[in-house]
Chains A and B, each alone.
Chain A
Amino acid sequence: MSFRMRTGFFLQTRTGCGSTTGPVSRVLKYCNSRSLAVVPQGGNTGLVGGSVPVFDEVIINMASMKNVVSFDKVSGILVCEAGCILENLISFLDNQGFVMPLDLGAKGSCQIGGNVSTNAGGLRLVRYGSLHGNVLGIEVVLANGDVLDMLGTLRKDNTGYDLKHLFIGSEGSLGIITKVSILTPPKLSSVNLAFLACKDYSSCQKLLLEAKRRLGEVLSAFEFLDNQSLDLVLNHLEGVRNPLPPSMHNFYALIETTGSDESYDKEKLEAFLLRSMEGGLISDGVLAQDINQASSFWRIREGVAEALMKAGAVYKYDLSLPVEKMYNLVEEMRIRLGDSSKVIGYGHLGDGNLHLNISTPQYDDMILAQIEPFVYEWTSKHRGSISAEHGLGLMKANKIFYSKSRESVQLMASIKKLMDPNGILNPYKVLPHSLSYS
C-alpha cells in the first residue's frame, strides 16, 4: 500500500525557535529502523521520474519547508528551506536587488531543494555556472535520521572532502536536503533580449562563438530551437505569436545580455547583431523593446516542453554533446523515424546541451525500438552525456553506463551502500538496478 505523508502534518510539531528539520529527521529515523523506503518529493517537475514512488515508498513532500532563513545583502548569500519555490525566491530576491543564479521553465512549481538535488542547469548557466559553484552549503538529513549541518556561507573552504557536492545532483538517493545556502548575484538593471533566425545549424554555432567573443561580459543566455519546435509551440500554446514573419527559417536563437548600463549594453548588442546580419549568420531578427516583449520571446523557448506535452506522446532526451555535432543526431533521428513521428531539437546551445524530443500520437514500442538504444549509443560514441541536466531518476538509471565507466559506477554504489545501508532513500533511482540490489 502506498500512502502519503504530508509535511504539513510534520511541521505542526515544530517548536518556536528550533529548525523545521526535526520532523524530517524523525521520519527518516523511523523509516530506517523499519526499512521503509521513502521518496523525497519537491515540486514534482522532474523529467525522469525521480520524485515518483514506484511501489510502496513513503512520500516525503517538502512543500511546507518554505521559509527564507536569512539573506545577507552585502554578500548576496541566501539561506532558505528546501521547499521554497524557485519563483518565490526569485521575487524575494528581486525586492532585495538580487537574482537567483538559475532560472528554468518550471520555476513556478519546482523547489530549490529539487533544483539542488537534480543539479538543475537552466537558462542562465552560461552566465552564472552550475549549482556546484553557487551552492555554498546545505543541511541534509541522512538515511538514519542524522542531520548533517554543512550550511556554510563561505566562498572558500578547503577543509577535507567537500561533501555537499555528493548531494548536489544525487536526486535524493543519499539524503534529504532540508536547507540550502546559495550565492546570488546582484540584479543588474539592463537586460536585453533578441530573437533571431538562422538559416542553418552551422550559423547558430558560429553565432554562439561570436557572441561569446564579442558579448562575453554581458552575455547571459544563448538558447536555440529548430523551426519544428517553433511550429509546435505556435500550434499548441495559446496566445503565442511568431515574432518574425512566417518564412523559411530553419533555426532560431535567443541571445540575452545582462549588464549595468542600458545604453552601452544595447548599443553593443545592436552592433553585434547588425554585424552578424551583414555577415550572414543571422537572416532576420527582432530585439525586445520592453519587458513584455522579452517575456513573449522567452515564452516561446520555455513553452516547448509544455507544447510537447499537449501534442501527444513524447520521448525525451537531454544530452550533452560537442556543439558542432549536436544537431547531426536530430537529423539522423529524423531519417530513422521517417514520417512516423516529429523529431525536434532545442536547448541550451551555450552549454552544449541538446533537448532531443520525439513527439508521436501515442506511445509505440516499435518507435521506441528505433530510438533506443541508438540515441544512447550515438551519444556515448561522441563522448557526450545521456543526461545533461535532468538526472537519471527512474527512467534512465539503467543507462548510466553509456556515460560512466564501470569503475565509477561501482564507487557510486559503494558510497550509496555506506550512506544508506538499508537502501531506503529513493530506491530504483539513479543507480542501475543490477548494482543497487545485488
Chain B
Amino acid sequence: MKIMVAVKRVVDYAVKIRVKPDKTGLETHNVKMSMNPFCEIALEEALRIKESGLALEVVAVSMGPAQCVDTLRTGLAMGADRGIHVEATGALYPLSVAKLLKALVEVENPGLLILGKQAIDDDCNQTGQMVAGLLGWPQGTFASKVVLDKENQVATVDREVDGGLETLSLDLPAVITTDLRLNQPRYATLPNIMKAKSKVIKKLTPQELKVEIRSDLEVVQVTEPPKRKAGVIVSSVDELIDKLKNEAHVI
C-alpha cells in the first residue's frame, strides 16, 4: 500500500502573526515559514505505518508557490520516499486544494490519504472533509489513534470529539485527518537529510492535473482581532456588583 500525505507551508507556529498594513492578508515577507504542525503529525503517522510494515511507500504532496519545495524537503528528510509539488501562485482555498488532491489520488492510487486536521494559518479545517467527499471515500477526522488491519483493509480510528472519544472503522481507501495527540513527530536527522538529497520531487501544474483554480471566495479585509482591554481590580464586593450591574449590564 501507498500512503499520500498532504503537507502545507505556513507561517511558523512560533512567529507572531502580523497583518499587512493594506489589510489584504498576513505579512509573510521575511517571515519564517515551516511545515504546518498538524501536517508533521500526519507525516509522522504515515512513516510509522510504513515502518510497521503496513505500507510500502509514503508520498508527500504540497500545493503552492515555489518555496513549498523546502517544506517537501523537510518531509523527505523526516523520511517520506518522494514528493510532488503542484505549483500554484495565487491564493489557494480548501476546495481547490481538495480538487488537486483528488486529481493526485487518481494518479497515485494511495490506500490512505492523511492530512492535518487544519492548517494553522487559516484554521479552515475543511480540506480533508472536502477531498473525502469528492473521492467518495470514508473519512476519520481528528484522529488521535490509528490502527490498520491489512488483511481486512480496514483502518480503526479514534477521534477526539466534544463528548470524548469516538471510534470509527473505515474501509480502505480512506481519508484521515490528524489531531495533536496522535503522535510526536520525529526530527530530521543528518543521515536522513543526506538520504533526502537523492529523493525526487516531481513538479506538476494544476493544468496538468486538469484542475481549474477558481476562487469562490473573496477576501474583503484582514484585520487583527480587537485588543483585549486590561482588567480592573475592584476593592470590594459591593463595587464588583455595582460594576456588573451598571457598567457591564450583566446582572
List chain A positions with a Cβ less than 8 A from chain B: 94, 189-191, 194, 196, 241, 243-244, 262-263, 266, 270, 273-274, 277, 282, 284-293, 295
B15/A287 in contact, CB under 8 A: no
A286/B190 in contact, CB under 8 A: yes
Contact A270-B193, Cβ < 8 Å, known A243-B187, A289-B74, A292-B37: yes
Which residue in chain B gives the minimum CB-CB distance to A294?
A: B14
13 further interface pairs, Cβ-Cβ under 8 Å (given A277-B194, A290-B34): A196-B190, A241-B184, A273-B193, A274-B193, A284-B189, A284-B190, A285-B189, A287-B187, A289-B187, A291-B13, A291-B32, A292-B12, A295-B14
Least CB distance, A275 to chain B, in whole angstroms: 10
Which residue in chain B gives the minimum CB-CB distance to A293?
A: B187
Q: When each residue 121-148 of chain B gets 1 if its CB lies under 8 Å from chain A and 0 otherwise, what string results? A: 0000000000000000000000000000
**In the bound complex, how far is the Cα of B191 from the Cα of A284, in angstroms?**
8
B187/A286 in contact, CB under 8 A: yes
Least CB distance, A211 to chain B, in whole angstroms: 15
B77/A289 in contact, CB under 8 A: yes
**In the bound complex, how far is the Cα of B30 from the Cα of A270, in angstroms?**
21
List chain B positions with a Cβ less than 8 A from chain A: 12-16, 30-32, 34-35, 37, 70, 74, 77-78, 184, 187-191, 193-194
Least CB distance, A94 to chain B, in whole angstroms: 8
Within 8 Å by CB of B31, from A189, A273, A290, lies: A189
B188/A189 in contact, CB under 8 A: no
Residues of the A chain whose Cβ atoms lie less than 8 Å from the Cβ of B34? 289-291
Within 8 Å by CB of A274, from B14, B31, B188, B190, lies: B190
B32/A289 in contact, CB under 8 A: no
Which residue in chain A gives the minimum CB-CB distance to B18?
A: A95
Which residue in chain B gives the minimum CB-CB distance to A260?
A: B30
Least CB distance, B120 to chain A, in whole angstroms: 11
**In the bound complex, how far is the Cα of B37 from the Cα of A284, in angstroms?**
24
Interface of A is mostly: mixed
A263/B70 in contact, CB under 8 A: yes
A277/B35 in contact, CB under 8 A: no
**In the bound complex, how far is the Cα of B12 from the Cα of A305, in angstroms?**
29
Q: What are 19 A-B contacts with C-beta separation under 8 Å? A: A194-B190, A244-B189, A262-B70, A266-B70, A270-B193, A274-B193, A285-B190, A286-B189, A287-B187, A287-B190, A287-B193, A289-B74, A289-B188, A290-B12, A290-B37, A291-B14, A292-B12, A292-B13, A293-B187
Within 8 Å by CB of A273, from B13, B15, B32, B190, lies: B190
Most buried by A among B15, B34, B187, B190: B190
A291/B189 in contact, CB under 8 A: no
Contact A189-B189, Cβ < 8 Å, known A263-B70, A291-B12, A295-B14: no
Within 8 Å by CB of B188, from A191, A263, A286, A295, lies: A286
**In the bound complex, how far is the Cα of B142 from the Cα of A344, in angstroms?**
44
**In the bound complex, how far is the Cα of B32 from the Cα of A42, in angstroms?**
34
Least CB distance, B13 to chain A, in whole angstroms: 6
Least CB distance, B42 to chain A, in whole angstroms: 15
Which residue in chain A gives the minimum CB-CB distance to B184?
A: A241
**Which 5 A-B pairs rank lowest in CB-CB distance, beginning with the nearest?**
A290-B34, A291-B14, A286-B187, A285-B190, A189-B30
**In the bound complex, how far is the Cα of B189 from the Cα of A282, in angstroms?**
12
Least CB distance, B187 to chain A, in whole angstroms: 4
Residues of the A chain whose Cβ atoms lie less than 8 Å from the Cβ of B13? 290-292
Which residue in chain A gives the minimum CB-CB distance to B69?
A: A263
**In the bound complex, how far is the Cα of B103 from the Cα of A22, in angstroms?**
72
Residues of the B chain whose Cβ atoms lie less than 8 Å from the Cβ of A282? 190
Residues of the A chain whose Cβ atoms lie less than 8 Å from the Cβ of B187? 243, 286-289, 293
Residues of the A chain whose Cβ atoms lie less than 8 Å from the Cβ of B30? 189
B70/A290 in contact, CB under 8 A: no
Least CB distance, B29 to chain A, in whole angstroms: 9
Residues of the A chain whose Cβ atoms lie less than 8 Å from the Cβ of B78? 289
A287/B14 in contact, CB under 8 A: no
Residues of the B chain whose Cβ atoms lie less than 8 Å from the Cβ of A293? 187
Least CB distance, B143 to chain A, in whole angstroms: 21
Which residue in chain A gives the minimum CB-CB distance to B13?
A: A292
Within 8 Å by CB of A291, from B15, B188, B190, B193, lies: B15
**In the bound complex, how far is the Cα of B13 from the Cα of A347, in angstroms?**
29
**In the bound complex, how far is the Cα of B52 from the Cα of A3, in angstroms?**
66
Which residue in chain A gives the minimum CB-CB distance to B33?
A: A262
**In the bound complex, how far is the Cα of B34 from the Cα of A295, in angstroms?**
14
Residues of the B chain whose Cβ atoms lie less than 8 Å from the Cβ of A270? 193
Which residue in chain B gives the minimum CB-CB distance to A94?
A: B16
**In the bound complex, how far is the Cα of B194 from the Cα of A6, in angstroms?**
58
